[in-house]
Amino acid sequence: MHESNFVASSGLDHTREVSPHEMANAIRVLAMDAVERAKSGHPGMPMGMADVATVLFTRFLKFDPLDPAWPDRDRFVLSAGHGSMLQYALHHLLGYVDMTVEELQRFRQLGARTAGHPEHGHALGIETTTGPLGQGLATAVGMALAERMLNTRFGDEIVDHYTYVIAGDGCLMEGISHEAIDFAGHLALKRLIVLWDDNRISIDGPTALSTSTDQLTRFQACGWQVESVDGHEPEQVAAALARAKSADRLSRRLSDCHWIWRAEQGGIGNGTRCSLRSSRSRRRADPPRVERFPFRRSRANQDGMESGRGARANRPDGLARASGKFAASTCLSPGHVLLSPQPRF
């Protein structure tokens, strides 16, 4: 690693805060480069969900990259597992110690932590293996149920977290999705929030080839609260997530974003592609910020996050020095659709 030399010569100020837009673009570039290098993978989902993921991870998700097993962390499930680079890029930017740039460079290679689809146990913070579409969504139902059951037993001081899912069109087409959302709606699992990436594309072509379902209505019929927002408008996403969280009742919001269109308009598809090195330089130039929540912080405190330099920037491996407490990470976040079970009964 010649990281420090590189940074030194870059002349870039990596102490300034990174904007959500920059973070999202960093995710996009990392995803593009990794997929390009592997000549395999699915860049579309990370492209489209980068803004949403940035909002979720930097403003809502309660987690600590330096303590990925913290029991009261929020659970994040990338049900659309083919978009694995979204999660790997996030973990890299957020400072998960095992998600180095080398791992990103080895995306989809034998023995890499960055398997084609997220594999539980391969990398820190991968809460469950996903890839078979719909499985992540249904597994998250169990996680959200476990949270409520433990909360009932031990109280808010000990157990007080959310389960977030990024699901794609395919997840919602699979039959298991209906079992899952029906069951979650019935139980009123208000701590389960699903962000649906309504990108309207499938392998064979537009999803219109094979589905005409009004997903929002379907979720509503199962007892979910739904909401549709533009996934490329961070404030819209944030507001919807805040509403989903604050609902006393079950809230699941579905945000319906036409992100493909947005992406085209936003210049994501301008054809600028960076090499992994250049993406790394981008990361160095714009070190992601991390927000770390103190263990067991009270709910009242959770809105006032303490922030600091990105954990990765402070790592002792040359990427950064650690000093003091601080926090973590950074930037990216998922999704488009927010769904939460709504208290209908």
Partner 1 sequence: MSSYLPSRVFEQLQEHKRALFVKKPTVATRKASEMALTVINEATDRLIGGSADLTHSNLTITKGAISIKPREFSGRYIHYGVREHAMGAAMNGLALHGGFVPYGGTFLVFTDYARGAIRLSALMRQRVIYVLTHDSIGLGEDGPTHQPVEHLAMLRATPNLYVFRPADAIETAECWEIALRSRETPSALCLSRQNLPVVRPADNDENLCARGAYVLYETEGERDVTLLATGSEVEIALNAAKLLAAEHAVQAAVVSMPCWELFESQPISYRQEVLGRAPRVAAEAASRLGWDRWLGEIGAFVGMTGFGASAPAKALYEHFAITAEAVSKAALSLVCRVGAADSLAARILEKQN
Taking the least distance from each CB to partner 1, the nearer of 98 and 306 is 98
Look-up of token digits 């034998």: 110
Least distance from partner 1 to the Cβ atom of residue 185, Å: 9
Taking the least distance from each CB to partner 1, the nearer of 80 and 268 is 80
Least distance from partner 1 to the Cβ atom of residue 343, Å: 8
Least distance from partner 1 to the Cβ atom of residue 124, Å: 14
Kindly give the interhelix angle for 276-285 and 20-38, rounded to the nearest 10 degrees: 160
Least distance from partner 1 to the Cβ atom of residue 175, Å: 7
List residues near partner 1 by CB under 8 A.
71, 75, 119-121, 127-129, 132, 135, 138-154, 159, 175-176, 179-180, 182-183, 186-188, 343, 345
Least distance from partner 1 to the Cβ atom of residue 274, Å: 34
| Helix (H) / strand (E) containing 77 | strand 75-78
Taking the least distance from each CB to partner 1, the nearer of 3 and 179 is 179
Taking the least distance from each CB to partner 1, the nearer of 7 and 141 is 141
Least distance from partner 1 to the Cβ atom of residue 316, Å: 29
What's the CA gap between 47 and 89, in Å, rounded?
11
| Helix (H) / strand (E) containing 31 | helix 20-38
What's the CA gap between 279 and 50, in Å, rounded?
15
Give the distance from CA 3 to its chain's centroid: 26
Q: Hey, how many other C-beta atoms are within 10 angstroms of the C-beta on 196?
A: 34
Q: What is the dihedral sign for C-alpha 150, 154, 155, 157?
A: negative
Taking the least distance from each CB to partner 1, the nearer of 175 and 205 is 175
Cα separation values, 252 from 38, 149, 172, 330, Å: 36, 19, 15, 24
Taking the least distance from each CB to partner 1, the nearer of 54 and 139 is 139
